[in-house]
Amino acid sequence: MTKTFTDKMALWPDVPPASSPEDDFRPWLEAYVLPTETPLGAVLVCPGGGYNHRAPHEAEPIARRFNASGYHAFVVHYRVAPHRHPAPLLDVARALRIIRQRAARWRVAPARVAVLGFSAGGHLAASLGVHFGMTGLQQGDALDALSPRPDALILCYPVISAGIYGHGGSFESLLGPAALPELRQWMSLEHQVTAETPPTFLWHTADDGSVPVENSLLFAQALRDHGVPFELHVYPHGSHGLGLAETSPHMATWAALAAEWLAALGFGYLP
């Protein structure tokens, strides 16, 4: 199982909802689908980039890595600044619904779709994990019938908190420089976890100088408080934005650990 079928498609048929008039970017979904007759679990990847760009090394290479572990993979090229909340959240919810809509065509197990995100993309993935029931995610078309709730989350050095450990640049890009305190609280995700939040795998480095490790710790504590299963790995040293972390054999273990964790949840199999 070494070859994949790749496909690209627009998320929205026309101008996406909540678009900024300053930018005509059209978000899209990229599919990396394994050749199989048996439905498999899938991973939807949200690259990081501080909500002002999307990092290429956290996109296709991640999809290919999870393909190698026996999972279908998808990358969502979501809107970033000058687009503001809820534009990115609408995009990732739409992408997840499209995967479920095309599950039979792509041989995806529709109840086994994880959302994986890096840094600000981790905030986006976690936002869907806590805000999947938000009324604004309904867009009045056939996709509304499909749940946007992820079946699992994989959060890689994620931005989580808008508090003292927050990454100010990500929140300014997402919410604007004059966001109301109530909105910042809504998007400070350690406060939004419930018992319905999906099982979560997290990894971070203890000395991350851009997004403090407390972001992962706070989310893990919230999961613990609400009885949500999670797995947390904190590596002692490493810079932010490592992606697959291939220069460090120790930190590079995160991808295999995440694949094994998904397998234990019934997402597929390991070769």
Domain residue spans of the chain = 5-264
In the chain (271 residues long), the average pLDDT of successive 10-residue segments reads 81 96 96 95 98 98 97 98 98 98 96 98 98 93 96 98 94 95 96 98 97 98 98 96 94 97 85 48
Residue listed under structure tokens 């990115």? 88
pLDDT score at 269? 58
**CA angle, residues 197, 200, 204, in degrees to nearest 5:** 130
pLDDT score at 1? 43
Amino acid (1-letter code) at residue 110: P
pLDDT score at 236? 97
Three-state DSSP string of 79-103: CCCCCCCCHHHHHHHHHHHHHHHCH
pLDDT score at 262? 97
Query: Which strand (E) or helix (H) includes residue 30?
Result: strand 28-33
| CATH topology assigned to domain 5-264 | Rossmann fold (3.40.50)
